[in-house]
Structure 1
Amino acid sequence: MRLRGRSMPVAALLACLAVMSACSAEPEKPSLDEAAKQLVADGEKLVASRELTAAGTVTVTERASKDGELGCLKGQVQRFFRAQGDLAGPPHVHSPGNSAGLMLSALRNLGYDKVIDSLDLRDENLSVTLAQNPKTGITFLVAVRNTQKPNIMIVGKTTCYERSE
C-alpha cells in the first residue's frame, strides 16, 4: 500500500514534466518562404541601421528572390540576402574590427546570437563576424576589410529546406 501512495505524486510529477517539455520544445522552423521574408526584412534593417551607416554605405545586390543549392544536400535549397559597399572616409578612419563589431551589435538587437568569436577571424585589415537567429535559423556573415573594395560584404542565408516540387 505504501508504494501506491507514492506512485500518485510520481505520476503527477511526470505529467507536469511532460507538459513543461511540450511547452519548452523548439519552435517549429518557418517555411522557406517565411524564412526568406524574414531574411530580407532583417537584412534591410541591418543595411539601414545606425551601426552600419556609422561605418559606411552598402547596396543590396540580392533579396532572397531565388533558390540556391550551394551548401545544401541534394534536393535541398536555401535563399540568400547579399549586400556590399564601402567604409566611409579613408581606410584608416574605420577599423574593420570596430565596424564589424558595430554590425554585430545591430544583428544582436534583431535577436541574433554571435556564432563565432570575431577575435579569431580578425587582423588589422580584415574582420569577420557570424551571427544566427536561434528561432529562424537565419545566419548573417559580415566581412569588413580596408585593403580592397568593396570594404563591406554582407551575406545572409536561410537554412536548407527540402525542394518543393
Structure 2
Amino acid sequence: MRLRGRCVSVAALLACLAVMSACSAEPERPSLKAAAAQLVADGEKLVASRELTAAGTVTVTERADQDGELGCLKGQVQRFFRAQGDLAGSPSAHSAGNSAGLMLSALRNLGYDKIMDSLDIRDENLSVTLAQNPKTGIIFLVAVRRSPEPNIMIVGKTNCYERSE
C-alpha cells in the first residue's frame, strides 16, 4: 500500500515537472522565411491601422524582400520592413509623442511589447518607440518628428539568421 502511494506521488511529481518545463521553454524561433512573412503582415497592419491613419499617412518602401547583413554576425542575414510618410495637416498640430504613442498602441494590439520609448528623453519635436513581438523576436522602431519631412519613419526587422536558413 505504501509503495503504491509513493509511485503515485513520484508519477505526479514527474508529470508536474514535465508540464512546468514545457511551459517555461522558449517558443521555437520561426524560420527566416516565416519571420519575414510575419514582419510584412504586421507592418502592413500597422500602416493600415486607424491609429496610424489618425496621425498621418505612410508609404511602404521595403517589404522584407532582400537579405540584409547590417547588424548581424558574418554569415548571418535579416530582413527589414520600412515605411515613411507625413503627419496629417500641419506638423505643428501634432505632438510627436502622442503620434508615436498611437502607433505603439497599434503594435500592442498586434501582440508586441514596448521595450523602449522616449519618455525619459522627452522632446516635443521627436519621439521614438521600440516594440518587440515576444514570440517571433521581430522588432519595430517608430520615430515621429515634427520636422523635417518625412515626419513618420517605421523600421521593422527580424532577428539575424544563418544565411542558409
Q: 8 Å contact 1:111–1:133 — kept in the other structure? A: yes
Paired residue type of 2:102: L
Per mean C-alpha deviation after superposition, the further-off stretch among 124-133 and 85-94 is: 85-94
After superposition, where does 1:44-63 map in structure 2 within 5 Å? 44-63=44-63
Query: Residue 122 of structure 1 contacts residue 128 of structure 1 at CA under 8 Å; is this kept in 2?
Result: no
- Matches for 1:27-66 after TM superposition, within 5 Å: 27-66=27-66
Question: How far apart in 2 are the matches of 1:106 and 1:5?
Answer: 53
The residue type equivalent to 2:146 in the other structure is N
Measure the CA separation in 1 of the matches of 2:150 and 2:144: 9
* Secondary structure, counterpart of 1:116 in structure 2: strand
8 Å contact from structure 2 (residues 117, 128) kept in 1: no
Kindly report the root-mean-square deviation, in angstroms, between the aligned alpha carbons of the 2 structures: 2.0
SS in 2 for 1:72: coil
- Letter of the structure 1 residue corresponding to residue 51 of structure 2: E
How far apart in 2 are the matches of 1:72 and 1:44?
25
Structure 2 distance, partners of 1:162, 1:31, is: 10
Uncovered stretches (5+) of structure 1, i.e. residues with no partner: none
Q: How many residues align structurally?
A: 165
Q: Secondary structure at the match of 1:73?
A: coil
Identity %: 87
Aligned counterpart, 1:114: 114
Alignment of 1:80-91 (within 5 A): 80-91=80-91
Q: In the alignment, is the contact (CA less than 8 A) between 2:83 and 2:155 conserved in 1?
A: yes
Give, in whole Å, the separation in 2 of the partners of 1:146 and 1:78.
Answer: 30
| Dislocated runs of 4+, deviation >3 Å | 2-8
**TM-score, with structure 2 as normaliser:** 0.92
TM-score (norm 1): 0.92
User: How many Å apart are 1:11 and its aligned residue?
Assistant: 5.2
